[in-house]
Amino acid sequence: MMKNLYAICFSSLLVFVQGWNLQASQVKEQIESDNEAEHSAVVSSHGQQVELHAPGWGDMQFELPEPGTYDLPAFGKAADGNVLNKDGEKKRLSDFYGDKVVLLSFMYTQCADLNGCPLVTAVFYKIKEALKDNPELSDQFRLISLSFDPKYDTPEVMKFYGQGSYDFGGPEWQFLTTASEEELAPITDAFGQYVTQEYDEQGNPTSRIAHLLRVFLIDKNGMKRTQYSATFLHDESVITDLKTLLMEEKNS
């Protein structure tokens, strides 16, 4: 039953992502100011509807700089910790650093905020689509979705959540979780990932988790090089930053 449910959900998301260009003009509203855009990027639920769509759902609205013409200064080492892969195997998060540039997203599978985890998943699919015929880039890039809801997002759930990506081509995409909130906390704390369980009027925990969207680009030395919020997360900007890091590596 759960297998079928996740297959349907991801098939639907995949169809949406592949057709996002057609739908973008219908769903994207004009972002009137940076403050309004930043407000829409905050993923806090309480039943409130998101009024604006993050730029990552639509076309890039400005011209990006050429790769290699700007710097991405390191701002700290990427945190390590105990994780589980989709097959339930125990790993260290650092096992996924070093051989490739990494794009790391914190997420949870029950997130229903348009500009939260669904945005990240859509952008990751768009990156895979853009790079699937470019092995020179895709072979040096790894996407990671790490859940901050270990109670619900077991390895089995993460496996089904990601099954639409396995034969999609493009960069490798890892779906990770942790064995417990105790194992998770040192990782989210070190990355500064804000996570708060939400409760109903009776004080019972709900399926909603308030959080700020954070996605990190990590170089092959395990150093954080940039951080994307919902306002700035876009497949084209990520790919430009990837090219910049690879050019930096080649010229060093």
CB contact at 8 A, 146 and 162: no
Domain ranges of the chain: 2-251
CB contact at 8 A, 160 and 7: yes
The Cβ of residue 129 has, within 10 Å, a number of other Cβ atoms equal to 15
H-state helical runs in 28-71: 34-41
**What is d(CA 179, CA 195) in angstroms, rounded to the nearest whole number?**
17
Q: What pLDDT does 50 receive?
A: 41
The Cβ of residue 3 has, within 10 Å, a number of other Cβ atoms equal to 11
Across the range 143-150, mean pLDDT stands at 96
What residues pair up with 142 in beta bridges, in sequence order? 102, 172
Residue owning tokens 């954080």: 224
13 pLDDT above the threshold of 60: no
Across the range 33-58, mean pLDDT stands at 52
pTM of the model: 0.78
Instruction: Give the domain 2-251 fold.
Output: Glutaredoxin (3.40.30)
Better-scored residue on pLDDT, 230 or 154: 154
